[in-house]
Amino acid sequence: MHEYSIVQSLLDSCEENAKANNATKVMKVVIKIGVMSGVEPDLLKTAFDTFKEKTICEDAEFIINVQSVVIKCNECQKESTLKELEYTCPSCKSSDLQIIDGEDMYLMQLELE
């Protein structure tokens, strides 16, 4: 389960940011997970809640924002957010698309104390 290794990296990143800002606690961690990232939000939350004990994030609230797939059509140049994973442009029905967002996971915000 790769969510555990992701959480370990996330906790390491939180610790580094806290030290760099002379903080003693992380109070909130906000991440964005793309629906195509391969990361399961529920498993990630469970892993975070399990591994945050006895770390600088022990009291941290963990917020996950799920990002839909955003595409740009190479035919009509329109950007769209896909409601379902149908890889056709909603405007012109072309399948010549570029994915702009929804494939990655990002640490968006830390609230430090």
Distant-in-sequence, close-in-space partners of 78: CB < 8 Å, separation ≥ 6: 72, 89, 91, 92
Write down the pTM of the prediction: 0.87
Identify the structural domains of the chain with CATH numbers, from first to last. Answer: 3-112 (3.30.2320.80)
DSSP 47-111: HHHHHTTTSTTTT-EEEEEEEPEEEEETTT--EEEESSS--S-TTT----EEEEESS-EEEEEEE
pLDDT tens digits, residue range 48-101?
999 999 999 999 999 999 999 999 999 999 999 998 878 899 999 999 999 999
